[in-house]
Each structure stands twice: as structure tokens, then as C-alpha cells.
Amino acid sequence: MTVILDGKTVSERRIELLREAIDESGFSPRLATVLVGDDPASALYVRMKHQACERVHIGSINVTLPAGATTERVLETVRRLNADPEIHGILVQLPLPAGIDREAVIEAVSPEKDVDGFHPCNLGRLVSGQPLFAPCTPLGIMNLLCEYGITPGGQRAVVVGRSIDVGRPMAALLLNADATVTVCHRRTRDLGSVVRSADLVVVAVGQARFLTAEMVGEGATVVDVGTNRVEGRLVGDVDFEAVRERAGAITPVPGGVGPMTIATLMENTFEAARRLTCGSAP
Ligand code: NAP
């Protein structure tokens, strides 16, 4: 029987536990989001993050800048939030409009407030095995696997996709958890046979139903990061109905990785507030 890795239910439970922990802590965590431009999807993601903040009793503010804002204006905003002692976590919603220097903006966020985990310091710490903040999507996946008692240690893990926000940090987290990790991309030869050899597959390519049943080994754990709009519906990177027949465990889309990402952002923000309030060094 294939186990459905139900990120929605697990994230709800983690949100409840987090709210209790925050209420008991006496801290007042606050998250600041920075939204540049008027992309409707980005605006929706930012709204969802603020709704999650409300649920866990994290204060939140949003700074909206026009699509035509300069890199310098975005940097000024980030610097102001860095200097604000009432703000513990900063999230700049990506993607940024064309013309804004994404790397400069990411590097401007104080690593101690970088709850998205994209700052090179945080990515470097993750790769060195000493994470402070890890990116929310891959960390959420690790939490989801853990909740289902799936331990990556010793497993052959294949990550398809090598982006900075998902594929690369996912590979680092799995390696830190003692998996034997292979990372695939467009230049990977014979992708099907590489993926078929895996006990655990994480797919983050951004192409609807990219991973087919023939590419999956019997009993493998399959994690689908993809979010693709097809005829108005949200569809993952995995051909879910066919792959679930072969997989031992699989995440659905929607209701798998997405809700875990938001819950993990909340957990990272609480952790940032705890560290900044207690003054504990990383
Ligand atoms: P991305 O930056 O576009 O990276 C896609 C990766 O997939 C690249 O490394 C690319 O390889 C690889 N790839 C593309 N086509 C391939 C192919 N035919 N064979 C092998 N590799 C291929 O995307 P991303 O930011 O990682 O996001 C991936 C998906 O996850 C998107 O659908 C995104 O919306 C979704 N996502 C969901 C969440 C969530 O919370 N649920 C969070 C983040 C992202 P190259 O490097 O060789 O080009």
C-alpha cells in the first residue's frame, strides 16, 4: 500500500505546536516581507505567508515596492529592516522583477534574519554541515520525511533539479542526513536509469508530470516539489496517478510539499526570534 505523504495534515499539526511554543516562549517574533512589483502569484504567496503568521501568532509587516523600483531602493529597504530590532525575519519574495540585482538583494539580508536561507553564508553553512537557516522547501521536505519515519541515512537519494532554492540545498540536507546523493539536471545522461536506481527521489524541475512511472523504482519514496498550472489546475512534476502504483510513498500536489514550506518558514522565523532575543551566537 502506497503511503501518501500528507503535507497538509502534518503542516497543520506543526503549526498548532508552533503556536503553543510561541505563546509559551514569551517572545514576539516578527516577520517582514518585501514584495517588489505586482506579479499576482507573488502577491498571493506573500498573503499566504502573512495568513500563516497570524495563525501562529507571529507579527508581520509587508513592504511593497513598485515594479520599477531600483536595486538601490530595494537594498535600502532591506538595510532598514536589518537594523530594526523589532524584526526577526526578512523574506524578499522571489522572483524579483527584471533589472533588479537578485544576488545583491539576497546578500543584503542579514544572515541572522535570513529565514529563507538563501544568503550565501547560510547556504555555505548548510554545505559545510553547520546549518543556521536552511531554505524552507527542502527543510520542509526533510521534516515531512521525518514525520513519516523515513530516514534518509544510507538511502540512495536522487534529486532532479539543481536550483539554489530547492535542488542544491535539498542535496546538502540529504547528504548531511547520511544519504548517498546524486543531483541530476538537463545535462544528465540517461536520467531514467539514474532515477530508477534511487530509494528516494526529489523532483524539482518545473514541468508538469515530468517524472513517469517507468522512471521510478519499485517501492521508492517520491517527493514532488513542482507546482505547474495546467488548465487552471495545480499539477506537480510527477505523474501522480501512474507513479503512485510503483512508489512506496509519495507526496501529492497540492497538499504535499507546499504547506510544509510555509510551516517551515514560520519555524525558521521563531528560531530567528529566539536567537536574536536570547543573543545566542550561531
Ligand atoms: P528552476 O530554478 O527552474 O530549476 C529547475 C531545475 O530543473 C534546473 O536545475 C534544471 O536543470 C532542471 N531541469 C529542467 N528540465 C530538466 C530536464 N528535462 N531534465 C533534467 N533536469 C531538468 O526551478 P525551481 O525553483 O527549483 O522550482 C522547480 C519547481 O518547484 C517549480 O515548479 C516551482 O514552482 C516549484 N517550487 C515549489 C515550491 C513549493 O513550496 N511547493 C517551492 C519552490 C519551487 P539545469 O540546471 O540544467 O537547467
User: If you take atom 8 of ligand 1, which residue's CA is the nearest one?
Assistant: 161
Q: Which residues of 153-174 are buried (b: 16+ CB within 10 A; e: fewer)?
A: eebbbbbbbbbbbbbbbbbbbb
Residue nearest atom 21 in ligand 1 by C-alpha distance: 185
Cα(165) to ligand 1 centroid in Å equals 9
The residue contributing the CA closest to ligand 1 atom 40 is 258
Cα of 134 to ligand 1 centre, how many Å?
A: 18
In the chain, DSSP finds a helix count (H) and a strand count (E) of: 10, 11
Task: Name the residue with the closest Cα to ligand 1, atom 16.
Answer: 186
Q: Is the pTM of this model over 0.85?
A: yes
- The sheet that has 89-92: what strands, in order across it? 59-65, 30-36, 89-92
Go through the domains of the chain in sequence order and give each one's CATH number.
26-113 (3.40.50.10860), 136-258 (3.40.50.720)
d(CA 28, CA 160): 38
pLDDT in tens, the chain (282 residues): 999 999 999 999 999 999 999 999 999 999 999 999 999 999 999 999 999 999 999 999 999 999 999 999 999 999 999 999 999 999 999 999 999 999 999 999 999 999 999 999 999 999 999 999 999 999 999 999 999 999 999 999 999 999 999 999 999 999 999 999 999 999 999 999 999 999 999 999 999 999 999 999 999 999 999 999 999 999 999 999 999 999 999 999 999 999 999 999 999 999 999 999 987 545
Q: Are 22 and 267 in contact (CB under 8 A)?
A: no
Q: What's the gap in Å between 78 CA and the centre of ligand 1?
A: 27
Residue 254 and residue 226: Cα distance in Å, rounded?
9
Q: Are 32 and 50 in contact (CB under 8 A)?
A: no
In contact, 235 and 228? CB cutoff 8 Å = yes
Ligand 1: which of 158, 186, 207 to mutate, most ligand atoms within 8 Å of CB?
186
Q: Is the bond leading into 254 cis (omega within 30 degrees of zero)?
A: yes
CA of 163 from ligand 1 middle (Å) equals 6
User: Which residues are part of the catalytic machinery?
Assistant: 49, 93, 116
**187 CA closest ligand 1 atom index:** 47
